[in-house]
Structure 1
Amino acid sequence: MPGLHQNQLYSLADPTYYETPARLPDEGTRFALDRRAALPGWDKGRSGLWTSLRPEGAPVTEQGWKIHVSTVPEEAAATLRETVRICLRHGVPVKFLRSRQALALMSDKYMARGSSGKFITVYPPDEPAFLRLVAELSAALDGRRGPYILSDLRIGDAPVYVRYGSFTDRWCRAADGSTVPALRAPDGRLVPDERDVVFRVPPWVTVPPELGPHLAARAAARDDSFPYVVERALQFSNAGGIYLARHRESGERVVLREARPHCGLDSAGDDAVTRLHREHRALRRLAGLECVPRVHGVRTVWEHHFLVEEHVEGRTLFEEIVARYALVRGERSDAELAAYRAWVDEVTDRLASALAAVHARGLRFGDLHPANIVLRPDGRLVLIDFEYATELDDPSPFAGAFGMQAPPGTAGAEADAYALWSTWLHMLMPLTEMAGHDRRKALVLERWARDRYRLGPDAGPPRPAALTPAAGRTDPVAGLLTGTQPDWGRLRTLLTAGIHAAATPERLDRLFPGGPDGFASGGVCAAHGAAGVLHALRHAGAEVPPEWVRWLADASLRRPPERAGGLLDGLPGAAAVLAALGEGDAAVELLERTSAGPPPPGADLATGRAGRALAALRVTRATGGPGACPPPEVFRTASDLARLARGETVPGLTAPPSAGLLRGLSGAALLHLELYELTGERHLLDSARDILHREAAHCVRMPGGSVQVKDGRRHLLYLDQGSGGFALVARAYLDHREDPLLSGLLPGVRQGCVLEFVREPGLFTGRAGLTATAHALDTAPADGPARTAPAPDVLASVRNLTWHLVQRDDRLLVPGAGLRRFSADLATGSAGLLLALHTLAASPVTPDSPTGPRALLSLLTLG
């Protein structure tokens, strides 16, 4: 699953869809060297944000010592000219960021710390060339400025850094099963090319003696006079870390807020150090206020600046909302909602008083959201993170969480008031990101909250003037979902239109916009790429243009075998979809390529061996007919998975830590069920039972009665990981054999699938998948009569999609994971919702209808 950092990074290039940073619209800020034609004897290439220059016919060096150069925006053009001039004279390949905008992106607050600051990369062909270039570049660039590259060793006082690493694209499996860049060890094995925030070299590499003084300088930079001892890190970003520390002598606990020079640039171009000193000035000006942490000063250690402030005991408002929010647990009694409402009122009143106190000192806060508010154990409230606190009349941009920001140009006090109202709404309905896509969604959420919590018209802070609904500007989505039945046909038409409008068959990296993870698969995978979208369109009866099928086949065949992936993240899933679309030859070839690479270490269905085996079954049936014999490796995989579930050690295979259809072992149970139905061998059914009982051990009954999978501190219902997907497989097993343990869990799972509040709308981890699961369990219940139409509570859940869906012209858009951008993919976006609604709208129900558990399982596993 993509994290917050990845979602933010992939939100920079496009305001509508998650997009690779390489698509940054930066034509107006390109460097002259990017715009010019290559010199005679040199090849010029482009890849992502990078432009490369390489001598014609030069042999490719696989790995070695590479040189990085960093810079600041105002020195970038001159640093680039000087560095490339030296590389051209030495005939050494070089690549550089193509534009000033790309440079700002690589130093952004949300950029990965290990790669941040890299502006130019030089690829010396051997160690002597490396040492010559290091000496010349460090002399030529001495005194220039640039961010410190954490993964590298700095050379002298120049922004020149070095590390040993790979020069070419090679990949291997990391210990956690992910695919990572690789180095070739002396014995020929591919091993991870570690690109962490600490300079290190592979064990077989000897550091040249010429780098010794720079290693010594790095070690000498440690300042033992710093009076604080760090206990643990609270947060990391490219701007620096936030640490809980203790004073060496007094023992007082403090928070250290670190700022790295020239790093963590924001939209105004300010770096972390600029913002840290702004915060220090604001805290001094606000000294004495109960709602502001005490400040102890600023210290500089080596080149990093640290703001030292009071450690405020308590939890952030964000954490409190997660811990207290009633609707996510199904706690719907009037007393429980009244208690939560009273807490919201108390916090809102204290927050309004805190902002009034800050304003009385002539400052705006500028970055109000739940993660910047700490509630002490006694209920008192403290504002933290004053990086954007400026004069009340300061016109400079303010920050704010996505969806909680006032419109540009809003005055300081008014902008804080807007954020106060948004924070109040977020406590009642933690979906305020949707207002970042369409401000009308804030009013949709407010109306729902006032009705659900029985709030009077004067409850809460005054609604901002910017949110006054204009005539004729009501949200049109509600009309699609209200009434006795949702308008299934219109929903299908608008979702399909959105998918078609978003298609980009002219691109090589993706056909449809999806989640950020789709770019790692070349845009072909089932979860976030073209395979899943075409699968959904086919089953929903929508048009699948032949050129889209051709795109999927061509793009899949470009993927290297070592990056084959699994059923949902790679080539096996693409093969299953292509086989169903009539592209049998391409499907068979993809499976052959997959088997040529190393098997994945995971056992799950999404990325591991259970999914690969199911893909082989799908392709075999599509190309050889229903009675075609599965390949022998499918049975070997099933045997290995059964042994793993029994607790045996299977070399090279690891069990998932939790339960679920896609990320647990329920997918392995489904594989055994399908093989049992194909062969009639009872031991396969026994193995399915054993696996499902292992999965059931992860399930717990919640106070409200729902059954969910416990995963650490989380409780999950989803198809991806959770009790929903497990229940579908368990119900399919019960078609063959009674099992009181499994049948006893199903009603609680079904109850959980219609809880009121679901944060995301998607199929794998959202409302679409839960409603489809509830309806599938209704059509084949463990006991009692089957339903022939969606139950009232299922329809009520579907109607709450009004919170998420956005209509633009004649199409519907679906927000993806994190809700920051829209997605058309199967896992999180329009294709998944289209498939789920299709299962609800299909009528009448027959044994072959797509509403039963087996049919839904088939749809989810690309059958």
Structure 2
Amino acid sequence: MDQYELYCLADPHFYDTLPQSGAPGADFAVTRRPVPEGWAHQPTDTWMYYAPTGEPPLPAQGWKIHVSARVDDAERALAAVWDYCVPRGIAFKFLRGAPVVIMLNSKAASRASSGKLVTIYPRDEGRLELILKELHELLHGVTGPYILSDLRYGEGPLFVRYGGFAERHTLSGAGERVLAVEDGDGRLVPDVRNAIFSVPPWTTLPAFLEPHLAARNAVTTTGLPYQVENVLHFSNGGGVYLARDTRTGERVVLKEARPHAGLDAAGRDAVARLAHERDILARLAGLPAAPALRDYFALGEHRFLVMEFIDGNPLQRRLVQRYPFTRADCDAGEVAEYTGWALATLERVQRAVDSLHERGVVFGDLHPDNILITTDAETGEERVVLIDYEVATLAGEGARAALAHPAFSAPPDRQGVEVDDYAMACLRLGLFAPQCTIMLPLHRTKARHLGTLVSETFPVPSAVIDTAISAIEGDAGDRTGAEGGTAGGDPLAESPLTDASPALAGTAVEIPVPNGFTAESPVLAGSAVDMPVSNGSAAESPVREGFTAGFPVLGGSAAGGPGGEDAMADLPIPGAAPWDELRDAMGRAIAAAATPGRQDRLFPGDIAQFRPGRGLSVAYGAAGVLYALAEAGLPTDPAHHDWLRARAKDPEPGSGLGFYDGLHGVAHVLHRLGHRSDALDLLDVCLREKWEDLEPALSTGLSGLGLNLMHLGAATGETELTRAAHRAVDICAERLGGPEDVPETSGGTNPRAGLMHGASGPALLFLAAHRRTADPALLDLAGTAIRQDLRRCRRAADGSLQVNQGWRLLPYLDEGSVGIGVVLAEYLALREDPELAAELDALRMVARSGFFVQPGLFTGRAGIIAALGAGLRGPDAGDHPDPLIDRQVRGLAWHALPYRGGLAFPGDQLLRLSMDFATGTAGVLFALATVMSGRPVRLPLLPAATPRPVGHEYGKEV
């Protein structure tokens, strides 16, 4: 699963799985039952699987049963399912504990999978009907969220969906490996799991389920006085819709709440929070900083709040549009202009928050997506309106919000208005250092360092920074705390609005919307303006709304962070420290984080390392970390070699074969570390698999395999490897097509562009083959592949060329423009092409951007540095200092953090530290080695580089 929040529960410093936490009471009581005799049991980080061993194999796919239950009913439901299924030999699985249930039913959780506590696997439709009938009686009284992907059986907690039983995979339209089922012709197709029930076209709904489908379709919006015009936002708690009141013509916002879904850390569901928001808005009636309350009604089991529509833009969007360092070049005047706007905006936001406090309300969820900037119709000036009051509290209660954005979520010692004061302080920094305050829970004193960087970058008055740091660090003087707010402890007045109609039990609600609007529509948060395509290096939030703030970390708290309160001040910082100090400090952090006693991973990294085999991989596992250490000139621990070698001898089932995600990359690193025999043994395992069916991608597919086989074939003299490499070249050539045989956008349902997943990977393979054969046809193929990726790029407002995803532009190494630029530079070194040379200049412009939200190699600043080190800076750069490299090295300071006497960096989403190659400290170490070490270090699988003298310490003043 790909929900970072779940992997924050086990450890305060690193992403981790719950089984490693050792926290008592995290799992349900049923997990402590002995495994029945004749049964197999397999635990994972989220699920507990049970299946009888003496029964014939289950079919590969069919109608499965899901049991939904709220947390309070979960133990009872699980006991009933166990007691029913075990004696009857029925395979099942269930979520292992309440923390997992809450996270998978939280506001930010996937709508397609939310609500599923138990999955049961009937052998045929006859048993499907019998199990549903009997369990329906046994589970009477159990309630839970409606499973949107399924059909409900009766009015209880049972649901059904057709899907895979066995774990099989195929490639999606975007070239990604996804779960699969067989269609009517026996072909593997994606096992689609949408937030709406559907029957695959090759099968039919069992007849006994027809009445249940009819009941589901019986509830409609006919008769409501509101016509939906647009989807503004979907969360697991419900949708937000732009609508028109058909009685008055007024445009309004409908906010939906699903029962038992969208849980917060206090266990409240979306319905409870929506009713609370209704009451808060009633209390704030007439306040310019809050939308006016219009109505509240029920439809089926869902509740709807009707609010005034505010025709404005979220502050987050204004930030993305205006932040000067997202552009290739900006001057002092633009920086000063932005600073003036930001300071004026902060004053308006502060006045809006103060006006809430005067009514005795603590907003509780202050962040740029909940702040709308609109224009006052009378004065023409910008006005601030705060939206989303579902976690607001009364100042006199001294309570804390149970949902919050992690970049603005106050630590546990703040209550009442202090929660808003902390968020406001983070906003004062965050408008100048976007998303960086997400890192503060990892080390609170990072705030002071951020303040210094902001002061050095923007002409911000020192009083603004000092006030923010004081509030964040907790020494703001007299705290109003629970006593804040003029309304004190006055209870909420009863709302004059109540449910307009009784709930229709047992039904789900589908809101009809115009064609073209889906759950993937941009999050507009109350605005009718479409999200503009924006620079991926911009201050876009990498974090979902609705992070379950306040849920206890089972492994404890990071508090001041490892290394103590003074660790930040003693840290070697990129841009201030020389290469050897930076290298050694990152090496210390990586070594301190190693866990050789674990079986699944050696070094903590991204959540992707918990997929089968990824803990060994180059991108996310031990191989990539050891590779980075070796390339940077640091010693590697022989015990860590042994860890990798032992697991490479017996790869985990389901391990990928790719270079960055799987076993080919592991073999490459084993050979790099001197373990030739282990590398060849592992390659033998890889070549016995059906590798020819893989996608062309560098990270996961044929181009990465071909390059690795070509390299190791030459290095070892093993001709079988070379022959296999040539076969990979031939297959990629056969599948390539022409320059226009790809869509003009990347990702979504389309194949992705870029170095790791796009046509640039095959282009790199063709170039390597050309170097060995001098065949000009291979250069032709490389040019075609590069043009395919360039077709999926578009120019940003600053003239830079970036990968176009339709709703944003990406500059990054993995799926962005600099990755394409690295390969294009290799191509132009072999063949002159003025047209493509001009495109390379436009791709290079991205490296002039001053800010990137994340520091990592694949999707952050380190990737920009590594691309420059790999030749993106141009063929005439030579060995003299490069101001682009200097700027990017200094920029790493924004994300530098201490860890146990060393220097570390946060991973993707910035919520936890990472030591891996793709997202974390090892990748930053490697990137700096390409430009600072004086060693011939380049990205893996690129042609060898010549050493450069250590003539310049990038980032230091000279």
Q: What's the TM-score once normalised by structure 1's chain length? A: 0.89
Counterpart for residue 531 of structure 1? 623
**C-alpha deviation, 1:464, in angstroms:** 5.6
Q: Does 1:7 align with 2:4?
A: yes
**C-alpha deviation, 1:325, in angstroms:** 0.5
Q: Distance in 2 between matches of 1:177 and 1:217?
A: 38
Q: Distance in 2 between matches of 1:239 and 1:852?
A: 44
Counterpart for residue 540 of structure 1? 632
Q: Distance in 1 between matches of 2:429 and 2:204?
A: 58
Instruction: Assess, with a 3 A threshold, how the Cα gap between structure 1 residues 195 and 440 changes in structure 2: closer, same or farther.
Output: same
Counterpart for residue 444 of structure 2? 439
Q: Distance in 2 between matches of 1:574 and 1:520?
A: 15
Counterpart for residue 227 of structure 2? 229
Q: Does 1:610 align with 2:615?
A: no
> What are the superposed Cα offsets for residues 582-607 of structure 1, whole Å, 9 maximum, x if unpaired?
2232332243144456222xx44233
- Aligned residues of 2:707 and 2:941 also touching (Cα < 8 A): no
Counterpart for residue 786 of structure 1? 878
Letter in 2 for 1:146: G
Q: Distance in 1 between matches of 2:91 and 2:866?
A: 54
Instruction: Assess, with a 3 A threshold, how the Cα gap between structure 1 residues 726 and 171 changes in structure 2: closer, same or farther.
Output: closer
Instruction: Assess, with a 3 A threshold, how the Cα gap between structure 1 residues 438 and 857 changes in structure 2: closer, same or farther.
Output: farther
- Aligned residues of 1:553 and 1:586 also touching (Cα < 8 A): no
Q: Distance in 2 between matches of 1:689 and 1:741?
A: 12
- Aligned residues of 1:286 and 1:361 also touching (Cα < 8 A): yes
Counterpart for residue 417 of structure 2? 413
Q: Distance in 1 between matches of 2:77 and 2:788?
A: 60
Instruction: Assess, with a 3 A threshold, how the Cα gap between structure 1 residues 104 and 46 changes in structure 2: closer, same or farther.
Output: same
Letter in 2 for 1:528: Y
Q: Does 1:395 align with 2:398?
A: yes
| Stretch moving more, 519-528 or 413-422 | 519-528
Q: Distance in 1 between matches of 2:735 and 2:37?
A: 58
Instruction: Assess, with a 3 A threshold, how the Cα gap between structure 1 residues 592 and 704 changes in structure 2: closer, same or farther.
Output: same
Counterpart for residue 51 of structure 1? 48
Instruction: Assess, with a 3 A threshold, how the Cα gap between structure 1 residues 585 and 777 changes in structure 2: closer, same or farther.
Output: closer
Q: Distance in 1 between matches of 2:652 and 2:184?
A: 23
- Aligned residues of 1:776 and 1:852 also touching (Cα < 8 A): no
| Stretch moving more, 812-821 or 474-483 | 474-483
Counterpart for residue 164 of structure 1? 162
Within-5 A mapping of 1:183-582: 183-185=181-183, 187-378=185-376, 379-398=382-401, 399-430=403-434, 431-459=436-464, 462-463=467-468, 465-468=470-473, 473-474=565-566, 476=568, 480-481=572-573, 486-523=577-614, 524-545=616-637, 548-549=640-641, 551-552=643-644, 555=647, 564=656, 566-581=658-673, 582=676
**C-alpha deviation, 1:531, in angstroms:** 3.0
**C-alpha deviation, 1:293, in angstroms:** 0.7
Instruction: Assess, with a 3 A threshold, how the Cα gap between structure 1 residues 689 and 275 changes in structure 2: closer, same or farther.
Output: same
**C-alpha deviation, 1:552, in angstroms:** 4.2
**C-alpha deviation, 1:804, in angstroms:** 0.7
Q: What's the TM-score once normalised by structure 2's chain length? A: 0.81
- Aligned residues of 1:556 and 1:590 also touching (Cα < 8 A): no
> What are the superposed Cα offsets for residues 621-644 of structure 1, whole Å, 9 maximum, x if unpaired?
233279984433133135336644
- Aligned residues of 1:510 and 1:522 also touching (Cα < 8 A): no
User: Which of residues 20, 30, 42 is equivalent to 1:33?
Assistant: 30
Q: Does 1:755 align with 2:849?
A: yes
Matched position secondary structure for 1:290: coil
Counterpart for residue 806 of structure 1? 897
Letter in 2 for 1:591: C
| Stretch moving more, 143-152 or 92-101 | 92-101
Matched position secondary structure for 1:380: strand
Q: Does 1:681 align with 2:775?
A: yes
Instruction: Assess, with a 3 A threshold, how the Cα gap between structure 1 residues 352 and 786 changes in structure 2: closer, same or farther.
Output: same
Matched position secondary structure for 1:211: helix
Matched position secondary structure for 2:768: helix
Q: Distance in 1 between matches of 2:694 and 2:895?
A: 39
Letter in 2 for 1:406: A
Letter in 1 for 2:331: S
Q: Distance in 1 between matches of 2:587 and 2:613?
A: 23
Instruction: Assess, with a 3 A threshold, how the Cα gap between structure 1 residues 39 and 479 changes in structure 2: closer, same or farther.
Output: closer
Letter in 2 for 1:782: P
| Stretch moving more, 420-429 or 620-629 | 620-629
Q: Does 1:179 align with 2:168?
A: no
User: Which of residues 16, 29, 38 is equivalent to 1:19?
Assistant: 16
**C-alpha deviation, 1:320, in angstroms:** 0.8
User: Which of residues 142, 145, 151 is equivalent to 1:144?
Assistant: 142
Instruction: Assess, with a 3 A threshold, how the Cα gap between structure 1 residues 767 and 459 changes in structure 2: closer, same or farther.
Output: same
> What are the superposed Cα offsets for residues 177-236 of structure 1, whole Å, 9 maximum, x if unpaired?
222223344554333333222222333433332222222211223342232232232222
- Aligned residues of 1:481 and 1:798 also touching (Cα < 8 A): no
Instruction: Assess, with a 3 A threshold, how the Cα gap between structure 1 residues 151 and 695 changes in structure 2: closer, same or farther.
Output: closer
Q: Distance in 2 between matches of 1:134 and 1:659?
A: 46
Matched position secondary structure for 2:463: coil
Counterpart for residue 132 of structure 1? 130
Q: Distance in 1 between matches of 2:862 and 2:708?
A: 24
Aligned length: 844
- Greater share of residues in helix: 1
Instruction: Assess, with a 3 A threshold, how the Cα gap between structure 1 residues 707 and 277 changes in structure 2: closer, same or farther.
Output: same
**C-alpha deviation, 1:342, in angstroms:** 1.6
Matched position secondary structure for 2:81: helix
Matched position secondary structure for 1:433: helix
Q: Distance in 2 between matches of 1:726 and 1:30?
A: 46
Q: Distance in 2 between matches of 1:655 and 1:327?
A: 31
Matched position secondary structure for 1:765: coil
| Stretch moving more, 630-639 or 672-681 | 630-639
Instruction: Assess, with a 3 A threshold, how the Cα gap between structure 1 residues 16 and 804 changes in structure 2: closer, same or farther.
Output: same
- Aligned residues of 1:610 and 1:638 also touching (Cα < 8 A): yes
Q: Does 1:818 align with 2:822?
A: no
User: Unmatched 5+ residue regions in structure 2?
Assistant: 377-381, 476-559, 948-958
Matched position secondary structure for 2:634: coil
Q: Distance in 1 between matches of 2:408 and 2:751?
A: 36
Q: Distance in 1 between matches of 2:93 and 2:728?
A: 45
**C-alpha deviation, 1:340, in angstroms:** 0.9
Instruction: Assess, with a 3 A threshold, how the Cα gap between structure 1 residues 219 and 691 changes in structure 2: closer, same or farther.
Output: closer
- Aligned residues of 1:495 and 1:834 also touching (Cα < 8 A): yes
Within-5 A mapping of 1:807-846: 807-843=898-934
Letter in 1 for 2:684: E
Q: Distance in 2 between matches of 1:128 and 1:36?
A: 30
Q: Distance in 2 between matches of 1:445 and 1:368?
A: 20
> What are the superposed Cα offsets for residues 637-665 of structure 1, whole Å, 9 maximum, x if unpaired?
3533664437499xxx9997675333443
Percent of aligned positions with the same letter in both sequences?
38
Q: Distance in 2 between matches of 1:351 and 1:243?
A: 25
Q: Distance in 1 between matches of 2:828 and 2:94?
A: 60
Matched position secondary structure for 2:179: strand
Instruction: Assess, with a 3 A threshold, how the Cα gap between structure 1 residues 42 and 692 changes in structure 2: closer, same or farther.
Output: closer
- Aligned residues of 1:776 and 1:856 also touching (Cα < 8 A): no
Instruction: Assess, with a 3 A threshold, how the Cα gap between structure 1 residues 728 and 93 changes in structure 2: closer, same or farther.
Output: closer
| Stretch moving more, 244-253 or 349-358 | 244-253
Q: Distance in 2 between matches of 1:629 and 1:285?
A: 74
Instruction: Assess, with a 3 A threshold, how the Cα gap between structure 1 residues 570 and 245 changes in structure 2: closer, same or farther.
Output: farther
Instruction: Assess, with a 3 A threshold, how the Cα gap between structure 1 residues 346 and 495 changes in structure 2: closer, same or farther.
Output: same
Q: Distance in 2 between matches of 1:164 and 1:854?
A: 45
Counterpart for residue 592 of structure 1? 687
Q: Distance in 1 between matches of 2:602 and 2:827?
A: 37
- Aligned residues of 1:656 and 1:663 also touching (Cα < 8 A): no
